[in-house]
Amino acid sequence: MQKAVEVQVSEIASRGKEPVADHGSGQSRVVLEDISKSYGEEWERQEVIGNLSAEITPGELTVIVGPSGCGKSTLVNLIAGFEQPDSGRILLNGEPIRGPGNDRMVVFQETALIPWQTTYENVVFGPRLRGELSGKALKDEAERLLNKVGLREFMHKYPLQLSGGMQRRAELARALINQPKLMIMDEPFRGLDAMSRGLMQEFFLRLFEENRRTNLFVTSEIDEAIFLADRLIVLANRPSHVRAVIDIRLPRPRHYSMLSSPEAYAYKREAMGILYEEAMKSFRNTAQSQDFMDAMSKRL
């Protein structure tokens, strides 16, 4: 958690010299043009992403799934601007992404709340540091968002005094106060128990359906992906590229009971079939291959 906090503090501090985001403009388009990314020394370099092209559509909730280790978090880092692609480019509303900015906010897999700050102090930290809001205007906006995420009564509590679900909601408020052009969710509900995860999914959907801010959501859970997505991008195994794009046409507002519908099951079967094929590439010629095939076949 300490590493996540250090990243968050240094990232926000570095934004002070950047243009302020166009507040209220959550209808943004992200285009990834033939991007590639590799790691390691030249003699043992491993290509994680290879010639990947995709689009995140304005006002939609785009969800990315892919086999384990395919580079989903690497893709998040590239879109957030924490890293740069080796080739290709990423455009936000037609402008190349060259580094981090408060026009893109990331909610990470692990909490990045600053442990020595209260919930309120965590929420106002970014705008206060950049000098964008102050005084009553900042206080009113923070309290409005804390009330929206159900944490007004916990605004003076510290992160360790909050449950996992409450911490996730505090991070949503902290991201939303920046009014980003793009919200990036990197498996944000991972690690929560099943009940808390389901409640957070429905809570997050209500927020999205209320403002239709452009969202990119990364997950390893197919049910979660189908429940949330307008468009589902299925990634191939390494080097990762887009294997399929599935339009999820379940009506909004959504309720978890929709996952029992024939339409949701058809989407799940299609996505699981693709993921099965891609996952098998990394299991080929291994002792665990048949066991893995048997386990996956039971889920289809």
Domain ranges of the chain: 24-118+180-297
What pairing do the DSSP bridges indicate for beta strands 61-65 and 231-235? parallel
How confident is the model at residue 293, as a pLDDT? 55
Strands of 95-96's sheet in order across:
46-56, 30-39, 87-92, 95-96
pLDDT in tens, 218-243: 999 999 999 999 999 999 998 999 99
Confidence of residue 23 (pLDDT cuts 50, 70, 90): very low
pTM over 0.75: yes
pLDDT in tens, 61-80: 999 999 888 899 999 999 99
Average pLDDT, the chain: 85
pLDDT in tens, 167-226: 989 999 999 898 899 999 999 988 888 888 888 898 899 889 988 899 999 999 999 999
Reading the block at residue 132, the tokens are 């964008």
How confident is the model at residue 2, as a pLDDT? 39
CA-based angle 124:208:139, to the nearest 5?
Answer: 20
Strands of 231-235's sheet in order across:
104-107, 182-186, 215-218, 61-65, 231-235, 242-247
For domain 24-118+180-297, which architecture applies?
3-Layer(aba) Sandwich (3.40)
Gap between the Cα atoms of 264 and 280, Å rounded: 24
